[in-house]
């Protein structure tokens, strides 16, 4: 366990040295983080920024205003995020929980026991584990590690995870071996996503620029496939 913790912190330090602080999640309020966590599903962040700007511009970036807003109106404002009809429904479901269960008070909501609140979020239409955990970590400042497809890809290529590892198993790996620290969880996930988005691509990864290339099994696999190894 000590060796695994040391390994994970060494990976973290390399990523941090390469990319610096990611300052994620970019938002003015906790509620904006929650909205962004829903809107960013299956779309580039730049599209989310356009939708958030539209919601802010029409005064809908607070729980009560969004709760009272017509769903069709919300759809029009979030068109850049793709699947906007479904995402508008998800936002309405999430804000219904916030308003009807907690009176719109996010401090009250995030004071709930972490496990109980996570299960409650997972019961909301359209909120899966990754979105729920992003809300808990980045909006609620609660100690839960967020994992995603980038995490699976990178740590599979590093030889740590099998390709079909579950979300829960990935999350447990980090939470068992890392200190229970919100700031560390925040930055580590952001750094993993930075690497996955910029360099460790699904196809044609930019291995020569990767700060983890000497730890990675993928370049060797690629060489064998290409007949050069």
Mean pLDDT of 10-37: 97
Where exactly does CATH 1.10.1670.10 map onto the chain?
2-23+146-222
9-13 contact pairs (CB < 8 A, 24+):
9/178, 11/158, 11/212, 11/215, 12/184, 12/187, 12/188, 12/191
Give the residue among 34, 167, 24 at the shortest CA–CA distance from 90. 34
pLDDT at 221 (0 to 100) = 52
User: Taking a C-beta distance cutoff of 8 angstroms, is the pair 87, 78 a contact?
Assistant: yes
User: Taking a C-beta distance cutoff of 8 angstroms, is the pair 42, 84 a contact?
Assistant: no
Burial class for 147, CB neighbours closer than 10 Å (0-12, 13-18, 19+): buried
Q: How sure is the predictor about 219, in pLDDT bands with cuts at 50, 70 and 90?
A: low
For domain 2-23+146-222, give its CATH number from 1.20.58.220, 3.30.930.10, 1.10.1670.10, 3.90.79.10: 1.10.1670.10
Mean pLDDT of 114-133: 98
Where exactly does CATH 1.10.340.30 map onto the chain?
30-139
CATH of span 30-139:
1.10.340.30
Q: What is the mean pLDDT of the chain?
A: 94
Q: How sure is the predictor about 223, in pLDDT bands with cuts at 50, 70 and 90?
A: very low
């Amino acid at each position: 366990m000590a060796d695994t913790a040391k390994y994970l912190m060494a990976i973290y330090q390399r990523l941090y040295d390469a990319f610096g602080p990611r300052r994620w999640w970019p938002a003015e309020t906790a509620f904006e983080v929650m909205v962004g966590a829903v809107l960013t599903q299956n779309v580039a962040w730049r599209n989310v920024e356009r939708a958030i700007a539209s919601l802010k511009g029409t005064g809908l970036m607070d729980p009560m205003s969004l709760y009272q807003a017509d769903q069709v109106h919300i759809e029009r404002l979030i068109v850049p995020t793709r699947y906007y009809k479904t995402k508008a429904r998800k936002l309405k479901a999430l804000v219904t929980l916030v308003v009807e269960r907690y009176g719109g008070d996010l401090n009250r909501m995030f004071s709930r026991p972490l496990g109980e609140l996570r299960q409650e979020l997972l019961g909301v239409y359209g909120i899966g584990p990754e979105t729920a955990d992003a809300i808990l970590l980045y909006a609620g400042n609660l100690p839960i590690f967020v994992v995603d497809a980038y995490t699976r890809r990178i740590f599979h290529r590093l030889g740590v995870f099998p390709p079909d590892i579950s979300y829960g198993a990935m999350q447990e790996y980090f939470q068992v071996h890392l200190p229970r620290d919100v700031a560390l969880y925040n930055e580590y996930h952001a750094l993993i996503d930075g690497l996955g988005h910029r360099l460790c691509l699904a196809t044609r990864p930019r291995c020569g620029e990767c700060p983890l290339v000497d730890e990675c099994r993928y370049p060797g696999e690629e060489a064998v496939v290409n007949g050069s190894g």
